[in-house]
Amino acid sequence: MLKKTIYSLIILAIISSLLLVSACRHYSSEKRTQWMMKKFTKDLNLNDSQKEQLDVFKTEMVMKGRELRVAYKNTMEEMGLQLRSDKFDKEKVEDAILKIKAPQDEFISLFINKLAYFHSSLTPEQKTILAKKLDKMKNHGKRYCRMSR
């Protein structure tokens, strides 16, 4: 009887720990973007031209994000090489970091321009709903994952 109770408690502990770990999922940025676009389209009642603008906006941001990830990966590889080498070359690391700064600045500029263009196509009611949704989405997932607090 005691063995059954101990085994039951161990199994229960394993299952509960797996449930806790699985609640902290991290999705790719593309999946999060798709999810957000579906929510915006539904909640804002976008017309066809607004949906098209949002889709173009999403596509361009995803493509630029991929370019940024490649540049970041290359920078981190260069940093790793320098950290593993016998002599740390500060100039190479600075150059690698400066190489990633240009795509970041380009991404930020493109994001602001596209967001301003999309924002100008929204009605005042849609703008209010969008601001409320962004405030709500900002806290999404924080109650489930201790890493995002």
Tell me if 9 is assigned to some domain: no
Distance CA 118, CA 41 (A): 12
Please give the model's pTM, rounded to 2 decimal places: 0.63
CATH of the domain at 122: 1.20.120
Residue 54 maps to a domain: yes
What DSSP state is assigned to residue 148? G
Task: With respect to residue 42, please indicate whether it lies within any of the assigned structural domains.
Answer: no
H-state helical runs in the chain? 2-22, 29-44, 48-84, 90-120, 124-138
Position 32 in a domain: no
pLDDT in tens, the chain (149 residues): 777 788 777 777 777 766 666 655 566 777 877 887 887 788 888 888 888 888 888 888 888 888 888 888 888 888 888 888 888 888 888 888 888 888 888 888 988 998 898 888 888 998 898 888 778 777 765 555 555 44
Number of domains making up the chain = 1
Is residue 124 in a domain? yes
What whole-number distance in Å separates Cα of residue 28 and Cα of residue 78? 24
Host domain of residue 59: 49-149
